[in-house]
Structure 1
Amino acid sequence: MLKKLLRAGFAALALAAVASPASAAYPERPVTLIVPFAPGGSTDLCARIIAQKMSDILGQQVVVENRGGAGGSLGAGVVAKATPDGYTILYATVATQALNPALYKKISYDPIKDFTPISLLVNLPNVLTVNPNFPAKSVQELIDIAKKDPGKYSYASSGNGSPLHLSGELFKKLAGVDLVHIPYKGSGPALVDVIAGQVPIQFDNLPSSIEHIKAGRLRALGVTTAERVPNLPDVPAINETLKGYETYSWNALYGPAGTPKEIVDRLHAAGVEALKDPGVKQKLADATAVVVGSSPEELADFTKKEIDKWTPIVKESGAQVD
């Protein structure tokens, strides 16, 4: 009888082990969050704010690892090839998922097939600014001035093929104007020249420009989001003049393709809960980030729409990176 009871007990334990996969105990060790850009930028800042709170929620450290290079493609490629166990995840952007596949002749990943969507976390507005001595005081005035002298005026961005470059290209397309693109190696050098008056116009991430705008060193003509942003309530959205204009630098979580649903659900819940924390919300607001917190399904649909939106704009711009 005792042997029968023991056999029955062992059988029950074995059945329980099969019914409770390793993912049920996830996470059992630290999670690596790959940020595919250098430390210090707005993407890195937001990632660290969110990762710190997710660590508290998950009961394991979410460790930010910066893997910059090739416009974010190197870090994204690392996650695409990682084991889909939830211990290596990507803090992705519009560049890694929607722009780079069209920009780079060779890329090591497919933005749809090689990733499992988890959540669209935040949107980071961009802003159209001019040097204070430039005559345009509104988006419409800029369009009118540019139309009078096609090709005379130039705009600065943080680099060829960057989201900010393509924000300018979309503006040109919708406004029907000819502006010359001047690419820089980052927002910092571009800001220096626009403030100095070397280049009259710039598209930039709002976090980089906002203090210069408030100090009067730059004049903001419009933010690139569909609606105005709380940090600059008096600055109109470009969309108020150019209907349908909307760009921003979004941040989202993805796992490698094949990540189990239980792990996706756990990471999604932790990310959304982190975004609801008052301290996190305030820090993100200070960084001009707009909280989203989408479902995995919404992120999957959003990713496809962003690829469809940006691929033709990249091709029309002629931007390409080897």
Structure 2
Amino acid sequence: MFPSIRQAMIRALVVVLSLSLSAIEAANAYPDQPIKIIVTFPPGGSADIVIRALQPLLSETLRQPIVIENRAGAGGNIGIGAVAQAAPDGYTLGVAAAGVLTVNPHLNRAAMAFDPVKDLAPVTLLAEIPFVLVSSQQSAIASVADLIAKAKAQTAGLSIGHGGNGTAMHLTSALFNQKAGVGIQLIAYRGTAPATTDVLAGHVPLAVLDIPASKQLIGNGKLKALGVSAAKRVAFLPDVPTLAEQGLSGFESVGWFGIVAPAGTPPDIVKTLNAAFVKALSDPAAIEKIRVLGAEPAPTSPEAFAKFIQSESVKWGKLITEAGIKAE
């Protein structure tokens, strides 16, 4: 081999080794600056409260400040779009809910400036929030069996309120219709609060609400809980049977949110972040704060979270198509 060629190859090898060593050193040094977490909901919401409960624990483990930025809007597309466009260095993360990762792509893919699969790296699931089907005190409906019988006899006067088109509560309501073989009218509200107000007043006889919005109202008898949407009974409403227990085989629907990073974030950094979040989610005080919301901590590995996102996307995409659900 000619000396000049040999020298060129040696120089190229040195460059490759230098770059590899730099990448390893960068990963080993991580983190060496504050980490920003973008929350795609306004302050005070469940996701915001959960991440703020974890904030000091994450800061202690990672030995860096954790900066929380609320960037709501467009069903989570704005905040998670910013995460997708950030540098894949582990310093910008996002709290992503089921809607932006598994529902929006089926409802209005054209409005999304990013691909949830290609442009994001799952880190961990954070928490799950079950839903509950409730009836107003003015309604004569006292059970799921009673509701299905009335709906099959006639649907006039029956309707289910929910928190908005394309929300997990909307899809839970549509799943109820599908599993029960009925066609109850679904009424979209601009959020859980107005849906709750109308079912309390009896303007709609039924509603699908999240546990945080409804557990106190159920506890003091202002709403009747007909069934919970989770696969198992929930600790907050132990006497309320699941919808699956009441004849709707395989019924399972929960709200959830987790942590994502930009695609291309080094696996070692994702592993470091995952370990920090899993540790924080095992802290007794943090668990208590999360459960007070009516949520359940649900840490996973990055691989398990990726598989969960995929399965949820397939499940809800199928329902959206079969139920003919369209974007507003």
CA 1:43/1:244 → structure 2, altered by over 3 Å: closer, same or farther?
Answer: same
Alignment partner, residue 6 of structure 1? none
Q: How does 1:176-191 map to 2 (within 5 A)?
A: 176-191=181-196
**CA distance in structure 1 between the aligned counterparts of 2:278 and 2:235, rounded to whole angstroms:** 21
CA 1:318/1:151 → structure 2, altered by over 3 Å: closer, same or farther?
Answer: farther
**CA distance in structure 1 between the aligned counterparts of 2:205 and 2:37, rounded to whole angstroms:** 38
Structure 2 segments unaligned to the other structure (5+ residues): 1-17
Alignment partner, residue 130 of structure 1? 135
Mapped pair 1:167 → 2:175: no
Alignment partner, residue 157 of structure 2? 152
Of residues 239, 249, 252, the one that matches 2:255 is 249
* Offset at residue 45 of structure 1 (A): 1.6
User: Conserved in 2, the CA contact under 8 Å of 1:105 and 1:320?
Assistant: no
What is the aligned length?
309
CA 1:135/1:19 → structure 2, altered by over 3 Å: closer, same or farther?
Answer: closer
**CA distance in structure 1 between the aligned counterparts of 2:48 and 2:102, rounded to whole angstroms:** 19
**CA distance in structure 2 between the aligned counterparts of 1:260 and 1:16, rounded to whole angstroms:** 12
Of residues 65, 68, 71, the one that matches 1:67 is 71
CA 1:18/1:109 → structure 2, altered by over 3 Å: closer, same or farther?
Answer: closer
* Offset at residue 244 of structure 1 (A): 0.6
**CA distance in structure 1 between the aligned counterparts of 2:235 and 2:313, rounded to whole angstroms:** 28
Deviation per CA, 1:23-74, whole angstroms, max 9, x where unpaired?
2111111111111122222122222212332122211122221111111111
Letter in 2 for 1:194: V
CA 1:183/1:16 → structure 2, altered by over 3 Å: closer, same or farther?
Answer: closer
* Offset at residue 217 of structure 1 (A): 0.9
Calculate percent identity across the aligned residue pairs: 41
Q: CA RMSD in A?
A: 1.6
Alignment partner, residue 265 of structure 1? 271
Mapped pair 1:37 → 2:31: no
CA 1:117/1:16 → structure 2, altered by over 3 Å: closer, same or farther?
Answer: closer
User: Conserved in 2, the CA contact under 8 Å of 1:105 and 1:321?
Assistant: no
* Offset at residue 251 of structure 1 (A): 1.3
User: Conserved in 2, the CA contact under 8 Å of 1:146 and 1:152?
Assistant: no
**CA distance in structure 1 between the aligned counterparts of 2:234 and 2:321, rounded to whole angstroms:** 30
**CA distance in structure 2 between the aligned counterparts of 1:214 and 1:141, rounded to whole angstroms:** 22
**CA distance in structure 2 between the aligned counterparts of 1:310 and 1:120, rounded to whole angstroms:** 18
**CA distance in structure 2 between the aligned counterparts of 1:181 and 1:17, rounded to whole angstroms:** 58
Structure 1 segments unaligned to the other structure (5+ residues): 1-13
Q: TM-score, normalised by structure 2?
A: 0.90
SS across alignment from 1:21:
helix
Mapped pair 1:81 → 2:72: no
Q: 267-276 or 129-138, which moves further after superposition?
A: 129-138
SS across alignment from 2:186:
strand
CA 1:15/1:204 → structure 2, altered by over 3 Å: closer, same or farther?
Answer: closer
**CA distance in structure 1 between the aligned counterparts of 2:128 and 2:161, rounded to whole angstroms:** 22
Letter in 2 for 1:208: A
Alignment partner, residue 279 of structure 1? 285
* Offset at residue 319 of structure 1 (A): 3.0
Alignment partner, residue 237 of structure 1? 242
Alignment partner, residue 105 of structure 2? 101
* Offset at residue 21 of structure 1 (A): 2.2
**CA distance in structure 2 between the aligned counterparts of 1:109 and 1:288, rounded to whole angstroms:** 31
Letter in 1 for 2:51: A
**CA distance in structure 2 between the aligned counterparts of 1:19 and 1:30, rounded to whole angstroms:** 19
Alignment partner, residue 51 of structure 2? 47
**CA distance in structure 1 between the aligned counterparts of 2:180 and 2:157, rounded to whole angstroms:** 16
SS across alignment from 2:129:
strand
User: Conserved in 2, the CA contact under 8 Å of 1:42 and 1:287?
Assistant: yes
* Offset at residue 161 of structure 1 (A): 1.2
Alignment partner, residue 219 of structure 1? 224
SS across alignment from 1:227:
coil
Deviation per CA, 1:59-100, whole angstroms, max 9, x where unpaired?
112222111111111111111111110111111111110011
**CA distance in structure 2 between the aligned counterparts of 1:134 and 1:16, rounded to whole angstroms:** 67
* Offset at residue 105 of structure 1 (A): 4.5
Q: How does 1:10-21 map to 2 (within 5 A)?
A: 18=22, 20-21=24-25
Q: TM-score, normalised by structure 1?
A: 0.92
